[in-house]
Structure 1
Amino acid sequence: MVKFLLSVSILFLSLSSAGSVSAQESGRTRFILAASWQPAFCQTNQKKAECATQSGDRYDATNFSLHGLWPMRQDYCGVPDDQKAADKDGQWTSLPAVNLSAETKSALDKSMPGTQSALERHEWIKHGTCTKMSADDYFATAIDLMGDLNASAVRDLFAANVGKVLKADAIKAAFDKSFGAGASDRVKMSCRRVGNKRVISELTIGLSQDAVSAQAKEKGLGGLIQGAGQTSFGCDEGIVDAAGF
């Protein structure tokens, strides 16, 4: 009888474990958090205001910068045609100013240096309008998620290796350490060529449908990543670029 109960218990645990793995693998990516490594971005955008003013002691020199929070397969929701055309032409400063509280604007200027070039207007017009959130809530959510990323082992790894090559395995291990086993399977890394160097330019991180829900803050970046679908990691290695040209 004892052996029978033990066998049943083992079978139950095995099925539970299999179900857990299956649930993890069957997640679906509904949103993307795009996090740029600003020094790499600035290598090929030196004339942009945020790049011309970048320095080694500024926050974005050793922390990830917010590029955007993107709903999958949706953009320009309810946006007038003239604003859509202006956005696609890169005329971001002609777009309507985004209505933000003083607190959110201050935090966004730090997290998204591209506000110096009206990046927030572009991100709101193209992506934020499809979230059914207010602009303030949309950007506050993205800022919170970036805070989680920049408080993680991933950011620490990058900051400790400025000017050096980082391999995918080390970055994936840092994601799994900070956000749970398998988190790295929901991340893609992009690199770009700058002269004869290949630098890491951006991480795009898959998130579940709860990214813009009331549960987002409670789940945090780790919980939202775990509910997303898997993807390939992309670039296998690159240099963590330092500020300056």
Structure 2
Amino acid sequence: MGMVATWLSVADAAPLQPTQYGDFDRYVLALSWQTGFCQSLHDSGRSEPDECRLQKEPANKADYLTVHGLWPSLPKSIAARGVDNNRWMRFGCATRPIPNMPEAKATRKCAAAETGLSLEVANKLNAVMPGAGSNTCLERYEYAKHGVCFGFDPDDYFGAMVRMNTEIKQSALGVFLADNYGKTVTRDAFNNAVAHAYGPQSVKAFKLTCSGNPAWLTEMQIAIKADAINAPLAAGSLLPQPHPGNCGDRFVIDKAGY
């Protein structure tokens, strides 16, 4: 019931619209598999944020699918100034010569400016982006790097992420992730779940990242048509990506308790 209420309230938000540099063709929605992400930090010896050390196991295991960010692709107006995709993905809104804003650094996320989120949307975001509203400051970093230069209203920007995360968790793909929590799956089985949810033509829209040996899922990145961002995800709204990721033929839907 709570997830349905969240979907309805966020769906009523204003549509996401750039006020400048709007000549891009896609967004990439980045979603973390939270237990795999935390295990990758643990195994690498890197310091773990509070949301990894203090995480509670949800009743619905699909809720481990959490929001990382929403990334507009390189606008044509910026590419025309000699900017390539690698430079755009590295610097985002700090790309020179335009948009020429302060660089958001991954090692100093809390140095980024406050987003200006309303309390209502901040509370919804905190429920699906564990690094938001904490000393991790993930939402500040994501907005400073990927949102502010487009003039996105922060409530609309993060509200779109909350909506799509909820929608995916309620889809056949979300059911697949929950049913296979802690299990080894094949990429073919994952692709079948995507096809069931969004049609076979959407399989190549998903780029998967894994870590460890044997490999476990840490993140999925989903390419979405820019002009479809405000509609429910469907077969016609996703775009193929140039690379499927590094997960290989078999990987683990990692569980908590590493």
The TM-score, its normalising length taken from structure 2, stands at: 0.73
**Where in structure 2 are there 5+ consecutive unaligned residues?**
1-23, 43-47, 75-87
The TM-score, its normalising length taken from structure 1, stands at: 0.76
Deviation at 1:208, TM superposition (A): 0.5
1:182-197 map, 5 Å: 182-193=201-212, 196-197=213-214
Structure 1 partner of 2:117: 100
Q: Distance in 1 between matches of 2:236 and 2:164?
A: 10
Q: Which structure shows the higher helix fraction?
A: 1
SS at match of 1:57: coil
SS at match of 2:36: helix
Amino acid at match of 2:240: G
Given the alignment, which residue of 27, 37, 41 partners 1:41?
A: 37
Q: Deviations over 1:48-89 (max 9, x none)?
A: 1110111223777743101110011341164643xx1xx325
Given the alignment, which residue of 210, 218, 222 partners 2:227?
A: 210
Q: Distance in 2 between matches of 1:79 and 1:123?
A: 16
Deviation at 1:232, TM superposition (A): 3.8
Q: Is the 8 A contact 1:63 1:155 kept in 2?
A: no
Structure showing greater Rg: 1
Change (3 A) 1:60 1:151: same
Structure 1 partner of 2:142: 123
Change (3 A) 1:238 1:209: same
Deviation at 1:189, TM superposition (A): 1.1
Q: Is the 8 A contact 1:35 1:67 kept in 2?
A: yes
Change (3 A) 1:62 1:241: farther
What is the number of equivalent residue pairs in this alignment?
206
SS at match of 1:76: helix
Change (3 A) 1:175 1:158: same
Structure 2 partner of 1:238: 251
Given the alignment, which residue of 92, 108, 113 partners 1:91?
A: 108
Q: Is the counterpart of residue 31 in structure 1 residue 27 in structure 2?
A: yes
Q: Is the 8 A contact 1:59 1:110 kept in 2?
A: no
Q: Is the 8 A contact 2:206 2:240 kept in 1?
A: no
Structure 1 partner of 2:18: none
Q: Distance in 1 between matches of 2:63 and 2:157?
A: 24
**Where in structure 1 are there 5+ consecutive unaligned residues?**
1-27
Change (3 A) 1:50 1:60: farther
Aligned-residue CA RMSD in angstroms? 2.2
Change (3 A) 1:89 1:67: closer
Percent identical pairs in the alignment equals 30
Deviation at 1:147, TM superposition (A): 1.3
